[in-house]
Chains A and B, each alone.
Chain A
Amino acid sequence: MTDDTLLEIKDLHIDIATDEGTLTAVRGVNLDIKKGETLGLVGESGCGKSLTSKAILGINTANCKASGSIMFRPSGGSTGPIDLLTLKAHGKEIRAIRGKHISMIFQEPMIAFSPMYTIGNQINECTMLHITKDKEQSKAITIDMMKKVGIANAEKRYDQYPHEFSGGMLQRSLIAMALVCKPDLLIADEPTTALDVTIQAQILELMKNLHKEIGMSILYITHDLGTVAAMCDRVAVMYLGKIVEMASVQDIFKSPAHPYTQGLIGSVHKLGGKKSERLFSIEGTVPLALNLPAGCGFYDRCTKHIEGTCNVKDPELDVITGTHCTSCWLYAGKNGGK
């Protein structure tokens, strides 16, 4: 783990016990997040992107078994890197990290808040736990943060309940809650999917500004490539529990290597593009991660698959050029390596 690395995930596997057998939802994810960078994690539903992020915080449900390691270096420097996976889900250590060093924004702001408590009360919980025990001071910090995320009339809003907020305002409140302790890492799990375009633009703008101000790293999880292009420094593309491509945002959009990434980018209509063009579409659907066949998970849907190679052995994530990695047999041996 190098000094500028904040979080390093190594060979993460997550098994889910179901009635029909064990489902391996995440199959060997390797990922590192540098200090201050925004890493996009892109994939379709069911590819394991949310499970991966929840494993970092240890908040997956009890039937999920994670193995591998997630090394995290909290700021402050008193402790060395900690393996988050070894911490007990209800233990003191992880609770000291949650909310303080790593915090999360969830997809549905309407569900993320408890309807029984005021917004101020719920944001306050975080500051009372991690920053100060003084109620007045805690309230002042909370209101200050609410103002920072653009909630007008924060003093009054502090005492209101979630149902009195609109979706966009709730998402701002959720961001306030996540950032009030100035975390090292912010996990944003589809933070704008439930919002309208104009509100989405406001929220993305807000996240970018706060990112500049606070300087935390962001793990930005989404299926929307448009927002990835605007938000991220680097992008990892996930398919069926594996990272199939990882590169800088430039490389991902300008020279996507993996056929799946190419398909994803091709299937989005660009505003101002040619209308008569048919959208490129990837045939078939994501297979269920029960009883996966040998070979590449994308084999069935891939138009460029090599018979006898792709359906026999699963490719490893490998460097093509510089920082651009992909796991695809089409590029095997092209880097002078294996």
Chain B
Amino acid sequence: MSEPILDVKNIYKEFTSKGVCVKAVTDVSFTVNEGETIGIVGESGCGKTTLGRCIVRGIEATSGSVMYRAADGKVYDFLKIDNAQMKVMRKEIQMIFQDPFASLDPRMTVYDIISEPLRANFRLSKDELADRVMDIAKKVGLNTSYLKRYPHAFSGGQRQRIGIARALVLMPRVIVCDEAVSALDVSIRAQIINLLKDLQNELHLTYIFISHDLSVVEHISDKVGVMYLGKMAEYGTSAQIFGHPLHPYTEALLSAVPVADPDYKMDRIPLEGEIPNPANPPSGCYFHERCRYCAEECSKKVPVYHEMGSSHFVACHRAEELKLRGFSQVLDESGK
């Protein structure tokens, strides 16, 4: 059993605009072991990107802590350390962004883009710098003879490789991938997912993989957290979440995924309406208005996020009594 590398505790993030307070992330906690991939799924507006940014401290969380076990074995609260320590720690937690067309400076050559983190953090000679950049470019499958070109000369998949190279060049231990493959075509997406997995095995990386694409998340993740309206609705291993979900929202989400098989007739659980306005969330359980198992207490009391079974967390009043359908059961029933 590997040790925890990140312990995310009670993260809150509130945005206030024109006197209206929006709770983007509310009390999210989870633990990440070294070498694992944690998938964070949810619909747009559920706070998954905000959570990712709070963890890397791209934005400051309102409250909470991210206990990070550094390479030297000491544990720091990543959200509290001062600037000098931050400069050291930043190198160990990096991020890959969603849109490969927006996240690369069009006026920098690819070589400059990949080497910038090194130049900002180390004093390296020209040759050393070139060596490290070439090394990482080869690792992510970029043609090293093209490094003097500008981003516009590259396709979406190649650009995403540049983004990955930039994140990897500092030899980080944790990478937050925010929708890292969502903007890519199907065949390119498979290449990048395979690349991320290979790099993980080779460099022993830990990923926090934020995505709205459930099939990608199932493929890549060891553990999965399902978010709804800023809260963690359910958290467990990939097999638990996809096989035996405990939260009605997870069940509905799974049933909505289109499957590339014409014989597959999914008994879809209709989810009426849309995500409520986070500035004015419903009372009690945030999901109760759209939930088909809604009971009386659901609209009155906020459900407690609690453990059920081994490291399977859920926030639902009726989690103990409900028998929800996971994906494996659905496949069994349709005779597969």
B residues in contact with A227, CB < 8 Å: 258
Q: A263 at the A/B interface (Cβ < 8 Å)?
A: yes
Q: B75 at the A/B interface (Cβ < 8 Å)?
A: no
For the complex, give the distance between the alpha carbons of A223 and B213 in Å.
Answer: 14
Q: B257 at the A/B interface (Cβ < 8 Å)?
A: yes
A residues in contact with B185, CB < 8 Å: 44-45, 223, 286
Q: B158 at the A/B interface (Cβ < 8 Å)?
A: yes
A residues in contact with B262, CB < 8 Å: 229-230, 249-250, 253-254
Q: Which residue on B lies nearest to A42, using beta carbons? A: B186
Q: Are A229 and B260 in contact (CB under 8 A)?
A: yes
For the complex, give the distance between the alpha carbons of A286 and B253 in Å.
Answer: 33
Q: B187 is contacted by which of A250, A267, A273, A275 (Cβ under 8 Å)?
A: A267
Q: Are A44 and B187 in contact (CB under 8 A)?
A: yes
Q: B270 at the A/B interface (Cβ < 8 Å)?
A: yes
A residues in contact with B155, CB < 8 Å: 285-286
Q: Are A44 and B331 in contact (CB under 8 A)?
A: no
Given contacts A225-B260, A264-B186, A270-B259, 19 further A-B contacts (CB under 8 A): A44-B185, A44-B188, A196-B212, A200-B256, A201-B268, A202-B270, A202-B271, A204-B258, A205-B268, A224-B186, A225-B186, A226-B260, A250-B263, A253-B262, A267-B189, A268-B190, A269-B193, A271-B242, A275-B238
Q: Are B259 and A271 in contact (CB under 8 A)?
A: yes
Q: B283 at the A/B interface (Cβ < 8 Å)?
A: no
B residues in contact with A199, CB < 8 Å: 43, 274
Q: Which residue on A lies nearest to B273, using beta carbons? A: A152
A residues in contact with B190, CB < 8 Å: 267-268, 279-282
Instruction: Decide: A271 near B186, CB < 8 A? Known: A201-B268, A250-B262.
Output: no
Q: Are B254 and A229 in contact (CB under 8 A)?
A: no
Q: Are A271 and B257 in contact (CB under 8 A)?
A: yes
Q: Are B258 and A230 in contact (CB under 8 A)?
A: yes
A residues in contact with B257, CB < 8 Å: 197, 226, 271
Q: A94 at the A/B interface (Cβ < 8 Å)?
A: no
Q: A168 at the A/B interface (Cβ < 8 Å)?
A: yes
A residues in contact with B301, CB < 8 Å: none
A residues in contact with B212, CB < 8 Å: 196-197
B residues in contact with A273, CB < 8 Å: 219
For the complex, give the distance between the alpha carbons of A204 and B188 in Å.
Answer: 25
Q: Which residue on A lies nearest to B158, using beta carbons? A: A285
Among B177-219, those with CB < 8 Å from A are 185-191, 193-194, 197, 212, 214-216, 218-219
- Cβ distance A107 to chain B, nearest Cβ, rounded Å: 13
A residues in contact with B331, CB < 8 Å: 272
A residues in contact with B63, CB < 8 Å: none
Among B37-77, those with CB < 8 Å from A are 43-44
